[in-house]
Amino acid sequence: FVAEIVRNVFSELKKNLCSRRGILLAGCALTLLYAFFSHGYYHHDEHFQILEYACMKLFGTPTSDHLAWEFSLMMRSGMQPFIVWCLGRVLLALGVYSPYLLIFVLQLLCGAFSVAALLVFGRAVRDELGDERQERIYLALGLLLWFLAYLHVHFSAEMMAGNMLLLLAAATLRYLSSDARHEFRWGLLLGALAGATFVVRYQTGFALLGYGLWLLLFRRRWKLYAGMVPGVAVLLAFGLLTDRWLYGEWTLTPVNYLRENILNGHMLKFGVEPWWYYFTASLAESGVLFGLLVWAAMLRYFWRQRRSVVTWMLVPFLLVHFFMGHKEIRFFFPVLFFAPYFITLFFRDLLPHTSPRLFRWVAGFMAAFNVGALLFVVAQDPADFYFYRMMTRYCRDRGEVVGLNVSSEKSYYSWPQYVLEPQVIETRFYMPRNMDLRHFATFGELESAAQELCGGGRQVLLFSPDPALAEKCALPLRKIVWSPYPTWVVRHFNFNDWTRYSVRSKNVYEVLIAESRDPDRL
């Protein structure tokens, strides 16, 4: 009797979890979890081209010299920094501002936007998916795949561009299935989505070019075009205003971006890769099976749906990036937002011709890998984010804290950049308000400055890549030992000292002028 009750309970639980509502609730819960725990950034542009700009505008940083090289050339859109600035102003007005709370709110809103875009596109392709089972597979893939769960909550240009392309494709498909009335209104919506997509990330202009060609070839509707013109113009004007707000003068950032990165070739200074880079790098970074599945499903869709608006948007976007010299996996992220759709159609058409036993083994392995990847992201803070939290706690009840480092050395607060001319860029967004960061050309100059500053009663810190600096330096130093990993991991699983890899070159030392040297104090 008890066994029968247990079986009934588990059967009902499985039924609820596998239902559309259950998958949606599980996906929303995972998105909330990622918004809270998924810290840091995938690529530093996500931080330096958005958060640092917003921080400068929020707190009136006296100089922009600490910003990355693109700022002086006015190459980046002001839309995303403006959004962060607005949220920051709200938190400041409420008296609850902290960079960590701002990131959580930002990622929560990003997650909600991503889930909404996924649902809107799913509704637009519901008839093509075929039945409720395929729709549930689409939702499960879109909400529970580890790399999409990670991207959904990150406020990067690639993430927003992927969602905007998804909404543009969904709105176009809904328009095609309508009765062709209110074409001017549809044009306004499509134009606004296209304009917002471009303003967020200029590289999507290649996808929008393919979209425009598709409209000219397969949907010649002058009322639709007439509506798209003001829709695009309004969003471009908004982008122009946010650029004026950010840089303090009128400028055309897309033109600046094209001139500096493409014509002047600055992007090539970050590396040149062969044309096949995206195939090999995507397999290595996403796991071979996941990478092969996405590529197979996507290429199959492009071949079978050659007249689809999705194909006409994504193929030009992909091809142009294949033939650009500088390549990064994140450039392909906007395409990944269509992966659940491609994979669902792939499974629907090929599953009847696949061995059930082989499918169960492969699916089981991929599910286990997916769960492991999901848990890893929420269980472990990146080393840099842990460092920022540690330094916030350290500076909380102190007066003025001065951080010193040599300009040519990297730390989590600064590192040198040599694109236009040598400069030091800083992560002021996470820096405590009572910390002053200073850079010196040589270590001798740094030592002299440290002695003078300590004489004034200020707490002085040294940031250095040398883990043995305390034994070499003429100044009395105390090393602040830190690690992003729990004590039990360091104690029982630190094989070959792997836990030091992320922190061994990011050392922090207190300068103790009034104390004598003690070689055993560490």
pLDDT digits (tens, 9 = 90+) for 256-311: 999 998 888 888 888 888 888 888 888 888 777 788 889 999 999 999 999 999 99
User: Is 519 part of a structural domain of the chain?
Assistant: no
Q: Quick one: pLDDT at residue 75?
A: 92
The whole-angstrom separation of Cα 512 and Cα 475 is: 8
Is the same domain home to 183 and 274?
Answer: yes
Q: Is 400 exposed, middle or buried (0-12, 13-18, 19+ CB in 10 A)?
A: middle
Is the same domain home to 215 and 77?
Answer: yes
Over range 96-125, report the average pLDDT.
95
User: Is 516 part of a structural domain of the chain?
Assistant: no
User: Is 216 part of a structural domain of the chain?
Assistant: yes
User: Is 517 part of a structural domain of the chain?
Assistant: no
Q: Quick one: pLDDT at residue 515?
A: 47
* Chosen domain end from 346, 379, 412: 379
Is the same domain home to 250 and 391?
Answer: no
Is the same domain home to 171 and 264?
Answer: yes
Residue 93 has pLDDT above 70, yes or no: yes
304 and 348 Cβ atoms separated by less than 8 Å: no
Q: Which two tokens stand for residue 288?
A: 């071979």
Residue 379 has pLDDT above 80, yes or no: no
Least confident window among 371-375, 435-439, 440-444: 371-375
* Chosen domain end from 360, 379, 398: 379
Q: Quick one: pLDDT at residue 517?
A: 41
User: Is 483 part of a structural domain of the chain?
Assistant: yes
pLDDT per residue as tens digits for the range 359-369: 778 788 888 88
Least confident window among 70-74, 300-304, 332-336, 369-373: 369-373
Is the same domain home to 222 and 304?
Answer: yes
pLDDT per residue as tens digits for the range 468-497: 888 888 888 999 988 887 777 777 777 777
The whole-angstrom separation of Cα 518 and Cα 441 is: 28
Query: How do strand 414-417 and strand 401-406 relate by DSSP bridges?
Result: unpaired
Tell me the residue range of the domain where 454 lies: 383-511
* Chosen domain end from 379, 406, 439: 379
pLDDT per residue as tens digits for the range 144-172: 998 899 999 999 999 999 999 999 999 99
Is the same domain home to 200 and 93?
Answer: yes
Is the same domain home to 372 and 495?
Answer: no
Over range 233-255, report the average pLDDT.
95
Most confident of 129-133, 312-316, 476-480: 312-316
Q: Quick one: pLDDT at residue 519?
A: 38
Is the same domain home to 388 and 373?
Answer: no
Beta-carbon contacts of residue 80 (< 8 Å; ≥ 6 apart): 49, 50, 155, 157, 160, 200
Is the same domain home to 183 and 326?
Answer: yes
User: Is 128 part of a structural domain of the chain?
Assistant: yes
The whole-angstrom separation of Cα 344 and Cα 136 is: 9
Is the same domain home to 56 and 128?
Answer: yes
The tally of domains found in the chain comes to 2
User: Is 518 part of a structural domain of the chain?
Assistant: no
Helix (H, G, I), strand (E, B), or coil: what is residue 272?
coil
User: Is 208 part of a structural domain of the chain?
Assistant: yes
Is the same domain home to 277 and 407?
Answer: no
Is the same domain home to 260 and 293?
Answer: yes
